[in-house]
Chains A and B, each alone.
Chain A
């Protein structure tokens, strides 16, 4: 760019072969980005919908002619009275007038710009006129939802459940993945196939006996059935970690072994520090997995509302949507806010980790 401006018109011939390419490249970039924005808009539309609905009063949803954005009817106040504003059709378009008294075929109106002209009569059915609205987000839905649901307790429960379960999963899965990656174990390949096969295992196939077992142990109605199994590793996260561990050169742990390090020291001082991206990925995946869990808490915590995580705690709000859309939407916003914030805070590290995994493979 700067070079062209310096050399001026004389360089027109050498740049002309480069310029169309540049233009094409810019157009391609704009085209791809435009497509991306369109697809993204479709994807994020539901989020925009729930945010906007949560800020609207339910009465607005049922009013014909009300805008989609949170709004209230605009009024004109005159001598202590509030008069609604309408766009009244006149010969040259429309005029914004305040309605003093509506009748069927004509109405008494005032011009807010010239109130000194007083009340005058306008012909036409006021019901066909477009009411004027002003932007007015309303937080009433949030205060209603907050007073109806104990969000503090639900958040705390979900946070503890997801946190403890993630610690257990990391602990167990790192050990198991390490075992699968670095040690000669008889029948290792068959064991690994079995491990991977358990990804396919539907939870329904085991939940009745587990319920009976946990009931016998007196664990139902507590968090134990949700937390204890996390400390015994799961196939998905072991697989992810193993794939990453395999990409770490063996020479490093062999060197450490010659220096007399035992396998646990090698794991802690060589493998784990190099597996940061994979560990971060597993942490986030598992945290959100537990945060999302609905089926297991529903089955094992049956009735114990004080122990409910947020997923089960607000389940009833799905069906009340048609009656109280605003409050349901506010509940949904409150529920998704924390995962979204955590995701935004951790995403840089997370995306980077995924990219590193991909490039270094």
Chain B
């Protein structure tokens, strides 16, 4: 029988760490979404110079390990006089990093909407905001969900990297518990299980949302009269 006391002895610390992980994930996800939407809008409608800058930004982010960006935000920003603390700099790094990826996913889903969809709405006299909201997004969100889900799960897991800048999240608390109990197997197995369970829950929820948004497609092959 496996001895679970290393886990139960550190239960409150581990729970606090996991709560921190969830909060960081949710906050960074929200900020990354906003960053992604902003970048997508600039790339679609901004002046050519801005589009170029956004493209370069996305490229740099995609070519960099997220850990490098986290360390840069934590160690280099204070040099410029901006001291954010470990939690804020970690959040900033993850939001900037995943925002770039999210904008790529959004751009891809929007690009496959045929121009005729815009044209029909424009010739009807709809406002651009109405076209986006009523015509384009309902079609784009479904196809966007799988890649955004992958990024969301990636973001959730990579909050673990913030343990290297001493953010007291799940992995950080686990390491503390291990150095106290010398029971790495139980504790790592436990947190791995929790990470897996949470990722699976996210994937399940996203799958339901995807079906919801793609309902009209599912209806299609049916009646051809």
Our verdict on whether A and B bind, yes or no, reads no
> What is the interface of chain B, defined by CB distance below 8 A to chain A?
none
